[in-house]
Structure 1
Amino acid sequence: MQIEEVFRLANGRTLFTGVISGHAGAIGICECALLEGQRTRQVVRCEGEPMVKKIDPSNRRRSIATTEAVVLSSDEARSGRWRLVCVG
């Protein structure tokens, strides 16, 4: 995922939102690395995608949730330099 924004919800979850290319199916539970270029800032266990009805099936903007503490500010997320990549 090319991260566009990060949202911290009142229920303790953090949502990464952005563009996912080349993966049409829903993303499930996995470990993901938070990357800037090739540098890993942290690895988080993700719950996968919250299931929402997609109005436009060509929309590549999606979200991935985690309950772990995420070290990424909204400004950093909006910079376009950060990716979330499944590592296991």
Structure 2
Amino acid sequence: MIFKRYGFSRSTYYERLKRDTMPDKYASLIIKKFESSRQTYGYRRMHFETVKAGFSYCEETIRKIMGELGLKVDIYSKHTSSYHSYKGKVG
């Protein structure tokens, strides 16, 4: 059989076949709506919005889904938002 050729058990083979046909359990999550949005939602703000909309998923789940969708905030960085002491022309 094919599962013996690739070196995994029979149960793993059939479990993976079953997993591919199962529907996405996060399909109704509000994150899908923000996928095409131009707003900058990080995982904390996205978690707040999903809780406000009635979904009770933890922040780790929100981060995982945002990673799968390729959603991330690009405009904020610890290198660009550092402290600057320059106050203009002195004297």
- Structure with max Cα Rg: 2
The interval holding the TM-score normalised by the smaller chain is under 0.3
The two structures have a TM-score, normalised by structure 1, of 0.23
Higher RCO (Cα < 8 Å, 6 or more apart)? 1
TM-score, normalised to structure 2, is 0.23
Give the strand-richer structure, 1 or 2. Answer: 1
